[in-house]
Amino acid sequence: MKIIGSLFILFASTAAGLILARRFRDRPREIRQWRSALQSIEAEIIYGRVPVDQLAEDLSKQIPSPLNYFFTLLSTQLRKKGLPLQEAWLNSVEQFWPRTAMKIPEKEIILQFGTTLGTEDAENQKKHIQLALAHLEREESDARQSQKSNEKMMRSLGFLTGVLVILLFI
């Protein structure tokens, strides 16, 4: 009986540790995804002059999960509901956010970028994208730093907490 109980505790705490660790691992990966999405938006705008609703639909098919969900949201809001872009962008970010491991600074950058998208000519649009890319790059290196220091720690911390609790109970 005791053994089964302690195994439970150990399992739960290890799992919690792994989940926390995963947040640290996913964050830089997702920021990287955003950066590549922004780069393809840039290319499409500069060379193709593709309108945003078309862009969103294309990206929802090209980009790997979870980011493709954001562009699916955006494209349905633009095409089916006919919302203005700024509103659709804001709604999509809010709906999409619970699914990501990203933090507040990234959200700010993306919301800021959304307010500029589609309001200027290609030349200025490029500058805005470059700015967002630079911000995201900085966040990404931050995220990598904290991944390096925290991921392993979280994983082992989870396991060790479990062991500690078991020892205390026994």
Partner 1 sequence: MNEILPYLPEPFQQIILRMPEKERSMLEEIRCRTGRPLELIVSGNQWLPSDNSRMPIFSREQARELLQKIGKYSLYTLEEELKRGYVTIQGGHRIGLAGRVITERGHVLRLRDVTFFNIRLAKQKIGAALPLVPFLYNRRRWFNTLLIGAPQTGKTTMLRDLARLVSEGIAERYIVSRKTAIVDERSEIAGCVNGVPQNRLGARTDVMDACPKAEGMMMMIRSMSPEVLIVDEIGGLEDTAALFEALNAGVTVMATAHGFTFDQLTQRPSIRPLIDAKLFDRFVVLSRRSYSNQAGCRLTILDQLGRKMSATEGVWQ
| Contact residues for partner 1, defined by CB under 8 A | 45, 49-53, 55, 78, 82, 84-86, 118-122, 125
Q: How far is the CB of 135 from partner 1 (least distance, A)?
A: 21
**Two tokens at 85?**
């872009």
Q: How far is the CB of 78 from partner 1 (least distance, A)?
A: 7
For partner 1, the closer CB: 10 or 50: 50
* Helix spans in 44-100 (H): 52-62, 67-79, 85-96
For partner 1, the closer CB: 114 or 162: 114
Q: How far is the CB of 83 from partner 1 (least distance, A)?
A: 9
For partner 1, the closer CB: 119 or 149: 119
For partner 1, the closer CB: 3 or 121: 121
Q: How far is the CB of 68 from partner 1 (least distance, A)?
A: 20
